[in-house]
Amino acid sequence: MSLASLISFLRSKESIIFNALVALLTVGGQQLFSFFAFSCPCSPTENLRYGLAFLGVPALILLIVGFVFNDNTWRLFTGTTYDFSIRDRSSQSLLMKYKLICFVLGSVAGRALVAPVTWLAVTLLNGSYYSCAASSFVNVDRYDILKNLSADVRKFTLAQFPCAQLVSSNLSRVREEVLLELKYQSQVSGWLLIACVAIFFFLAFCVARCCSPLTYLQLNYWTSYTNNEQTLFEQATDQHSKVYAMENIKKFFGFSPGSKNVSEIRIPSSTDWRTISGLDLLRAVNQDYCHYSLLDAWADEEQTDGKVVRIDVGQVSTDTTSPQATS
């Protein structure tokens, strides 16, 4: 297989590869996080909150990050339906629009759920967080050594089971059996979570493909086209913004970066410097145009020529091409 074919194949599987990388990074991060940060307090009042916090809070943060760093999230929030509604108000077009919104939401949510589901599954398979959170609530009625203890003392004793150094030697066997039971419950829950998520995504994928008006080959072509369009659009955006910024900078300084044989330069006034300095939000001038920066707004206004200084072209050329001439 040639390099071009390999690159084409990887690009066609971009979504799968991205999700796999996110899952692997989440697994590695969870292991490091568990090793360096997790330490069960072994307290009947704190174990549950501490264990659930380590289970749920990182998963919630990963979910939010998954939504925030997905471009389609912001396309959905910042897109406008005004022109669409004017062009076509038929029920069929509205239905198609809502289907598209649901499709995009499903796509965004599916990608955002990869990391938090992986985190929950790995932590449940590990068993440490669950054992810490649920140690005070495990059923130990079958152990005679714990039957004579009051409810509060029993709960306090069970809460100390995740910390081997706090448990007396006569309870070591009971502790090992209880922790094994908790780990078994945690791992079963982890595998059930993986199975449920896998079945759900498989059914969702099947329903999406069945409801799609595109054939398999046309869908592959559409995916390839959208990837190429996005790549080319980003390249054009970069080039266009450079050219546009170059024009504004040339108007401000009188020459463009990289220009040769500069004959004159413009000296910006104090008012010019104050105008383009500071922070600015995107300001809309009208429905068709907006300023992207203070310099853009300055360049768009009618400006006087200001102070212009003539440059000796020969001297500049000599200084530029021959560094020894200045020594």
pLDDT in tens, 109-130: 888 898 899 999 989 998 888 9
Strand partners, 308: 266
Q: Which whole-number Å values give the CA distances from 36 to 5, 30, 32, 226, in the listed order?
A: 43, 10, 6, 42
- 3-state SS, residue 284: strand
How would residue 322 be classed by pLDDT, with cut points 50, 70 and 90? very low
pLDDT at 51 over 60: yes
Q: pLDDT per residue over 175-212, tens digit each?
A: 999 999 999 999 999 999 999 999 998 998 888 888 77
pTM exceeds 0.75 for this model: no
Q: Which whole-number Å values give the CA distances from 226 to 7, 107, 219, in the listed order?
A: 16, 15, 11
How would residue 80 be classed by pLDDT, with cut points 50, 70 and 90? low
Q: Which residue has the higher pLDDT, 150 or 93?
A: 150
- 3-state SS, residue 273: helix
- 3-state SS, residue 290: strand
Mean pLDDT of the chain: 80
Q: pLDDT per residue over 209-230, tens digit each?
A: 887 777 888 888 888 898 889 8
How would residue 242 be classed by pLDDT, with cut points 50, 70 and 90? very high
- 3-state SS, residue 43: coil
- C-beta separation of 289 from 299 below 8 A: no
Q: pLDDT per residue over 264-275, tens digit each?
A: 888 988 888 988
Q: How many CB atoms lie within 10 A of CB 296?
A: 18
Q: What percent of the chain has pLDDT over 70?
A: 78
Once rounded to an integer, what is the mean pLDDT over residues 65-83?
A: 76
Q: Which residue has the higher pLDDT, 327 or 79?
A: 79
- Residue 322 has phi, psi (to 5 degrees) of -130, 95
What is the maximum alpha-carbon separation in the chain? Answer: 102
Once rounded to an integer, what is the mean pLDDT over residues 145-163?
A: 87
Question: What is the C-alpha separation between 253 and 271, in angstroms, rounded?
Answer: 14
State residue 292's pLDDT score: 82
